[in-house]
Amino acid sequence: MVLAPRGSCGSDPSWQPTISAYVAANTDQELSNWWRNISSSPHTSFANELGRSFGSHVNSFECGIGDSGSCSMPACSSYQDAGDPVWAFQALTSTVNLNTLFNSIYTGISNGQQDYSDLSDQLALTFFPWSNPQFAFGDAAFWIVATLTMLVAVIPGLLEAEAVGLSAFAGAGVQQLAFSLTPDSSTSSVQSLVEMRSYASTFGQTSRATLESWANDTFSGKEDSQNNTILNYLAGGSYVENTNIPSNSDIEAFYKKQLISRTINAQWKTRKIFALFSQTNNTNDTSGPAQTRYYSQEDGGVYYTYLYHEDGILKGHLDKPWGLDQLEDKVYNISGSDITKASARAWKVGAFNYTRDMALKEIESSLSSNGTLTPYTDGAGWIG
């Protein structure tokens, strides 16, 4: 994981990779003026022109998927020695960090997809004890799309609200991924777990191709589907600080957890597994199974998830869902409370018909929530 170096210019605050230093250097305006001047005549990509104009002043500076080695920068003393302006250091730092984020998402999708595929047979044995579990295609389609588009929302809410480029980046990602992942209407309406595994893999491949194309266009200086360019993404110092950029492994774990939790949730909904709500002011209510307990201050009550186990004709008892004990194992790392929380939030929005469009709308709403809605940090508990 290549990140821009930090703090090699002593204690001079103007040469530190921080939002305040980025803004103080008038980086947005200076960078815009520089690019306008460069692009008014024959030129190479935005990233290449920036790298050869400042810092190391090399012609080999390129950013994009798989370009982490060539998208690196020297310590800020090199800029000082060359007489480069502070804003150039801030802009290149941000560009390198944005490239890291693109590559982390790309690699995280690839590794998380493989993790999910490797566990699919174990999922069936642990959580679906009936033979040949079937998945409604429409239901499965939207949660895979939602899971993938959530990946571009990994940063909003983790940094200062004034980093306005975060929403521009995430909003473009949601649109581009959702558009490229529109399900094929000819696909079977019902799929087996093996077919689902193949289907999810195809979506993962499409997502990586979309990300690669988007990254290449971004670092070339081209506009995205919302008419934003890299200038909009970097605005306000959105990516100048690297401390909150998730690693490949962080995104891999997030993606795997999302796919697994939504696979389980989608299948459990076909059985007599349901969440019940009880109104109570007791935040420590213990009237149901503790493993699935979710108390909502906003709703003024507690939710529990149950399995109705049939013991005979018109006879049965409430129990915990299949595999609940294994759900919190290290291999899954998902709590029953998160499953309940995700289901309860989806019910409030769409009742029994929580659709793909609703899922995407919730993700888009999180981008402008100033950190009050956080799909990345909510993990398996995010609405769904």
* Domain C-terminal end among 60, 91, 122: 91
Residue 325: how many other CB atoms lie within 10 Å: 11
Q: Do residues 112 and 253 touch, judged by C-beta distance below 8 A?
A: yes
5 domain-assigned: no
* Whether residue 345 is found in the same domain as residue 363: no
* Whether residue 188 is found in the same domain as residue 128: yes
| Best CA proximity match to 171, nearest among 188, 142, 191, 149 | 149
Q: How many whole angstroms separate alpha carbon 187 and alpha carbon 209?
A: 21
| Per-residue pLDDT, 157 | 43
* Whether residue 119 is found in the same domain as residue 87: no
| Per-residue pLDDT, 7 | 47
Domain count, the chain: 3
* Domain C-terminal end among 30, 56, 91: 91
268 domain-assigned: no
* Whether residue 293 is found in the same domain as residue 325: yes
| Per-residue pLDDT, 259 | 80
318 domain-assigned: yes
* Domain C-terminal end among 23, 58, 91: 91
| Per-residue pLDDT, 24 | 95
Dihedral of alpha carbons 374, 377, 378, 382, sign: positive
* Whether residue 57 is found in the same domain as residue 197: no
334 domain-assigned: yes
* Whether residue 209 is found in the same domain as residue 83: no
| Best CA proximity match to 319, nearest among 380, 272, 266, 263 | 272
195 domain-assigned: yes
Element (H, E) at 170: helix 165-180
| Per-residue pLDDT, 155 | 54
| Per-residue pLDDT, 79 | 87
* Whether residue 124 is found in the same domain as residue 224: yes
Q: Do residues 55 and 74 touch, judged by C-beta distance below 8 A?
A: yes
172 domain-assigned: yes
HSE-up of 98 (CA within 13 Å, CB side)?
32
| Per-residue pLDDT, 161 | 41
| Per-residue pLDDT, 65 | 92
What is the secondary structure of 190-258 as a DSSP string? EEEHHHHHHHHHHHHHHHHHHHHHHHHHHHHT---TTS--HHHHHGGGTTT--TTPPPHHHHHHHHHHH
The CA–CA distances, whole Å, from 262 to 99, 117, 165 equal: 29, 14, 30
* Whether residue 235 is found in the same domain as residue 123: yes
Q: Which residues of 65-86 are buried (b: 16+ CB within 10 A; e: fewer)?
A: bebbebbbbbbbebbeeeebeb
| Per-residue pLDDT, 27 | 97
259 domain-assigned: yes
Q: What is the pLDDT along the chain (384 residues), one digit of tens a residue?
A: 444 555 457 678 999 999 899 999 999 999 999 999 999 999 999 999 999 999 877 778 899 998 767 898 888 888 888 889 999 999 999 999 999 988 988 888 888 888 888 887 788 778 877 666 666 655 555 556 656 656 655 554 444 444 556 666 666 666 666 655 555 544 556 666 677 677 677 777 777 888 888 889 999 999 887 788 999 989 988 888 877 778 888 888 888 888 888 778 777 777 888 888 999 999 999 998 889 999 999 999 999 998 888 877 888 888 888 888 888 888 888 888 988 998 888 888 887 777 767 777 777 677 666 666 667 777 777 776
* Whether residue 368 is found in the same domain as residue 231: yes
Q: How many whole angstroms separate alpha carbon 302 and alpha carbon 341?
A: 10
46 domain-assigned: yes
* Whether residue 118 is found in the same domain as residue 226: yes
The CA–CA distances, whole Å, from 75 to 3, 8, 93, 342 equal: 11, 6, 10, 44
Residue 75 sits in which domain range? 13-91
| Per-residue pLDDT, 146 | 59
* Whether residue 25 is found in the same domain as residue 58: yes
Hey, what are 253's tokens?
A: 């774990």
* Whether residue 17 is found in the same domain as residue 148: no
